[in-house]
Structure 1
Amino acid sequence: MVRFDDPSPSENPDGLPKVSPLARRIHGWSWQAFPIGMGTGAVYVTLSGIKTRSSILTTVETVFYVLNMILFVLNTTTLLLQAILYPKQAGRLLTDPVKGVFVPLVVLSFATIIIGTINYTVPSGHSSPDFIYVLFWVYTGFAVLLCFPMLMIWFNKPHDLSHFTPAYAFLVFPLMLVGVVSFNVLRVLEHDDPRSVGVLLCGYFFQGLGFFMTFIYICIYFIRIMSTGFLEGHQANGAFVTCGPPGFTALALIQLGQRAREILPAHNLVSPAAGEIWYATSVMSALLLFGLAVFLFLFSALPYWFKLHKHLNEILGCWALTFPNVGWISTLALLGNIFEIKAFYYLHLMMTTIMVITWTVLFTLTLVAFWKGLIFRSKDEDVIKDSITISFSRRSSMSDVEAEKHDKRMRSSGEVV
């Protein structure tokens, strides 16, 4: 197997060939790279809720949308190469009870791309409602097929309550986000289209499933901090994950309720007043959940700076400051529309500005950490250990003595030559 070995004939002191920087990057990549794209998507999702629109704002949102797609392709391609070149490392990341919780984030990243596609390609005519409808079912199927196996892996092993983190809820997040994706899809489907009923019901179904499952994780989180105190170190970032379930559910309920006002009467379903009842109930429920989301945000933010370890090699965890807060921030703008209170618009604009500043700081620090090799880079010995075999061209250039020496070292490390 090719290991991107250094083309120069020099070797390490132990007689093994040097490993190229590219190989160390591919081997060291992880599923924790996806929150970077999700944080980027969080920027254009919150910006899209600003009431006063302009062409400049739309251009900025489109730039973030394109950057998000680039990051998604980069992450998926690198992890695919890792699975091909270093299957042991790839399998280790998938089955690890801690690191495996980040695998479903690939689905969440896909959700932000779908939302961006609806916002920026459908109005311009580059995408059709039929294409968006297909994407919705692709996302739903993708979420179910990925989340359930990962849940089986995670629950197959016991977990220490003293080390519990809300980030474990990522295993259910893709199912919960079906509701968010569905109301965005309903924006481009005609309300009298028969397909809209299925999308509406599916959105409510999975939003309820995802929220109540993640709410159980939030309860366990409170039990944990009652016994150990606030989360410290890199886990302090995970506290912000608790804002996601109530915030996104509040957002989804209001938006799905607005669609139900049109869809249910158009198809003569339930009763003539069903649409208005669903909408009114959704607004009331969303307001309750919005209050919970704001409380959890403040509860996570107040002790954050004092509990966080300021280490640059833990910068990836800090991206939890962005995307979990999108739900309740976007709900601010909707509440302003519903109750005609301008204070909600000002709060939304303020939090959106903070979101953009946070993204700028995190993206800069992430680039610095990447440049310094603090993230996404493995050690030479780890790459060599997970290599199946040395490249044929490299081994054929060795003398018999060198080849025998290499084979002996590979056998001693448990590798097949």
Structure 2
Amino acid sequence: MSRALSTQVDLEIAINGYITPGEDYFDREQQEKRPRPTPLPGPPNAESLARMISNARKSKKGKIGIRDRICCHQWTWFTMATGGVANVLHSVWTPYRADWIWYIGLIFFLLNLCLFIMNCILITMRFIMVPGSFMHSFLDQMESLFIPSVVLSTATIMINTCEYGIPMTGPWLQHTMEWLFWIYIVVSVIASAGMYLILWSTQIFPIHTMTPVWVFPGYPLLLTAPFASTLIAANTTAMNNPPINRLAIAMCAIAVQGTGFLISFMICAAFIYRLMTQKLPRDMQRPGVFISIGPSGFTVAGLVSLGQQSQVVIPDSFQGSTHSVIILRLLSTIVGLWLWGLSIWFFLVSVGSLWKYVRPERKMPFQMTWWSFVFPNTALVTATLALATALGSTGLRICGCVMAALLIVVWALVLMSMLKCLWNRQLLWPKELEGD
């Protein structure tokens, strides 16, 4: 170690009492050829999945086939972006009632449903063909963070079902979605708490590697208020259907939504600390910055929408006040504006983090985390449109529609990039087996 580096380290120890490891900490250690301690046995790393696939193929040496590619399927393929776009299109359709917007949203909903079924089949085939890979997914540092994506995908499907299905069907679907709402509340709480407990018991995440992806296990909680507001709105639209227990649904959703937002807020605070000490994440982690937009965006969309439906949610005698509806509408709008500003700020930071990729010589390798460019931003768009309705603002509504159009363009670009990487064997390809 050079004298200048030693002085810098000594100075940091003297001031802080500890050394903050940087992203180049281990690379610098290798360059200096210092002896590294023998690593302690721990959970499988990212390379162990490829070794598991290799062991599964030992009995049939040869070219890599479709079975081998299926073995590389991971939880990250459960993207919520397509269902999120369907939700955005429904939010755009609501004030304008244009049939063509509704049908495009319906197409995105059906496409999302097909993708979800396909991913369920592929991930099940991987677990069957590669024994032990199911438990491995809970112990892998990267893949384990995305396991809740299957819960989020289910939530987006149920939200889309309320939007596009309940007004067109009889009471049976409404009753089904009401039961599914309560089941989702229980599942989201258990999945979030359980996943964090598994991570805290089996993994070590140094602060210098922190990204907003750490928020992902808490994301299932963040869709409870949007789910509740959509279910109540669908019940109100379908006037022939019997009323549901709107007050209980709304209050429970607010409680769970608040829990999810506060958990996400605290983790995002750790991300700010990481940015102050370690600069922006590396290229492969950069798309995950957009995940920080979602917590405040989904909370705004859910709370403001519930506030605007206070007249059908709150009984006349609620809390003994006849002004409860007006107060709740005003309170939800003010809180929504407050958190909407936070979501806009994170959006600007996230877009600014991509500035260096404008230069031709700078390229960001494609990963499935690119879908983070879409799904968290669907929360921002729906939040903007919800505030436009609450405030009666034509400017905000036009801004939300423009954002929705740009979001669909981004969705198409990410989809084309994903298909290109699939064709070029950059996705679903066992890297260690290329030489076989």
1:81 correspondence with 2:149: no
Q: Which runs of 5+ in 2 are unaligned?
A: 1-56
Superposition deviation, residue 188 in structure 1: 2.9
Distance 1:15 1:234, change over 3 A: closer
Aligned to 1:98: 142
CA-to-aligned-CA distance 1:49-104 (integer Å, 9 cap, x gap): 22323222111111110110011001111111222221322221222233201000
CA distance in 2, matches of 1:140, 1:288: 26
- Give the distance between the partners of 2:206 and 2:196, measured in 1 at CA: 17
- Per-residue CA deviation, residues 183-232 of structure 1 (Å, 9 max, x unaligned), is 11111335994622221111100110000000011100100000111223
Query: Partner of 1:49 in structure 2?
Result: 91
Cα pair distance change 1:100/1:298, threshold 3 Å = same
> Matched residues in 2 for 1:343 and 1:194: separation?
34
Aligned to 2:196: 151
**2:183 equivalent in structure 1:** 138
Contact kept? 1:265, 1:274, Cα under 8 Å: no
Question: Structure 2 CA distance, aligned partners of 1:275 and 1:267?
Answer: 11
2:279 is the counterpart of 1:229: yes
Q: Secondary structure at the match of 1:189?
A: helix
Aligned twin of 2:25:
none
1:117-128 equivalences in 2 (<5 Å): 117-125=161-169, 128=173
- What is aligned with 1:347? 399
Is the 1:178–1:203 contact (alpha carbons within 8 Å) kept by the matching residues of 2? yes
Q: Distance in 1 between matches of 2:416 and 2:296?
A: 30
- CA–CA separation in structure 2 for the residues paired with 1:74 and 1:305: 35
Q: Is the 8 A contact 1:40 1:68 kept in 2?
A: yes
Measured in 1, the distance between the counterparts of 2:249 and 2:374 equals 28
C-alpha separation in 1, matches of 2:75 and 2:355: 25
Q: 1:267 to 1:193 in 2, by over 3 A?
A: farther
Residue of structure 2 in register with 1:304 after alignment: 354
SS at match of 2:193: helix
- Within a 5 Å distance, the mapping from 1:195-344 to structure 2 comes to 195-266=245-316, 268-269=318-319, 271-306=321-356, 310-312=363-365, 314-344=366-396
Alpha-carbon distance, 1:270 to partner: 5.2
Q: In 1, distance between residues paired with 2:246 and 2:320? A: 15
Which residue identity is paired with 1:196? R
Cα distance change on mapping 1:267 and 1:114 into 2, 3 Å: farther
CA shift at 1:275, angstroms? 2.7
Q: CA deviation at 1:269?
A: 4.5
Match of 1:366 in 2: 418
Distance 1:86 1:63, change over 3 A: same
Match of 1:387 in 2: none
Contact 1:200/1:256 (CA < 8 Å) preserved in 2? Answer: yes
Give, as a single letter, the amino acid of the residue that structure 2 aligns with 1:212: L
Alpha-carbon separation, structure 2, partners of 1:22 and 1:141:
37
Q: Distance in 2 between matches of 1:255 and 1:233?
A: 36
Q: Which runs of 5+ in 1 are unaligned?
A: 1-11, 385-417
**Paired amino acid for 2:222:** M
Distance between the aligned counterparts of 1:101 and 1:165, measured in 2?
A: 11
Contact residue 19 and residue 380 of structure 1 kept, 8 A: no
1:69–1:113 Cα contact (<8 Å) kept: yes
Structure 1 residue 149, shift from structure 2 partner: 1.8
Within 5 Å, give how 1:108-119 maps onto structure 2: 108-119=152-163
For 1:395, the equivalent position in structure 2 comes to: none
- CA RMSD, 1 decimal: 2.4
Kindly state the Cα deviation for residue 19 of structure 1 after the two structures are TM-superposed.
6.2
Equivalent-residue separation in structure 1 for 2:66 and 2:233 (angstroms): 43
Letter in 2 for 1:297: F
Deviation per CA, 1:359-386: give whole Å up to 9, x if none: 110101101111122112225759x9xx
* Residue 267 of structure 1, CA deviation: 6.1
1:170 aligns with 2:216: yes
Percent identical: 24
Letter in 2 for 1:334: A
TM-score normalised to structure 1 length: 0.82
Deviation at 1:276, TM superposition (A): 2.3
Q: Which of the pair has the greater relative contact order for Cα pairs under 8 Å at 6+ separation? A: 1
2:10 matched residue in structure 1 = none
Residues 209-218 or 132-141, more deviating: 132-141
Distance 1:108 1:164, change over 3 A: same
User: Given that residues 262 and 275 in structure 1 are in contact (C-alpha distance below 8 angstroms), is that contact kept between their aligned partners in structure 2?
Assistant: no
Q: 2:8 is matched with which residue?
A: none
Distance 1:15 1:332 in 2: 56
Show CA shifts across 1:280-322 (max 9, x none).
Answer: 111100000001100110111013141696354x331211011
Residues 104 and 147 in structure 1, CA contact (< 8 A), matched pair in contact too: yes
| Match of residue 116 from structure 2 | 72
Q: Count residues with an aligned counterpart.
A: 368
Cα distance per residue 1:18-65 (max 9 Å; x no partner): 365222122100011012xx1111211111122323222111111110
Q: CA deviation at 1:347?
A: 0.7
Shift of 1:338: 2.5
